[in-house]
Amino acid sequence: MADKKALDVFKTICDMLDSHHFNYVKDVEKLTVRITMSGKDFSMEFKLWLYEKSDIIIFDCTLPFKFCEEQRSNGALAVCYINYHLADGNFDCDVRDGRVKFRITTSYRGCNISTGVVDFMFNIACQTVDRYNGRLALVNQGKLDPKDITKNL
């Protein structure tokens, strides 16, 4: 069973989502919320969860496509170019199976988390994924050079 602090933070995440009237699926035992958002290129599947071992909130979003085998090293390269330009959060690329995920975290150790913090994390995650998922898909299709992925945004 999760501790009270984690449950309070989890409630704050749900309160933020409720305040926006978002539809989501929550699992209180696993301290996890799943939500689908519509982006300009793809729909985005978000998982909002607590990693109690480190007292951190993690929002992650797995992209709806995988890099094909011949483009995986380019996928890794593209993700490096993007991450270098991000102030908060990062993309992870698994070169073993081609999956790409965006991840953003914040610590709640010894402090109170407001709905404003959760709202900020969710906005950054949605904006960043929406900004880059179409471009990452173009790299996967061989239509965009990884070094150009952050240009003219």
Partner 1 sequence: MPTEQNATGARKVFDAFCEYLDEHAWKYNKDAQQLTISLNAKGDDLVIPVRISFDENLHIILLLSPMPFDVPEDMRKPMAVAVTAANLCIVDGSFDYNVENGNILYRITSSYRDGAFSKESLEYLLMCACVTTDKYNDKFKDIVDRKVSTDEMQKIIFNKED
Applying CB under 8 A, the residues found at the interface with partner 1 are 51, 54-56, 58, 73, 76-77, 79-81, 83-84, 86-88, 90, 92-96, 103, 105-114, 116-117, 120-121, 124, 147
Contacts of 8 (CB under 8 A, 6+ apart): none
Beta bridge partners of 93: 100
Closer CB to partner 1, residue 56 or residue 138?
56
Sign of CA dihedral 150, 126, 77, 83: positive
Residue 123 identity (one-letter amino acid): N
Backbone angles phi, psi at 34, to 5 degrees: -120, 135
Cα–Cα distance between 74 and 46 in angstroms, integer?
24
Least distance between partner 1 and beta carbon 23 (Å)? 25
Closer CB to partner 1, residue 40 or residue 109?
109
Closer CB to partner 1, residue 36 or residue 123?
123
Least distance between partner 1 and beta carbon 5 (Å)? 11
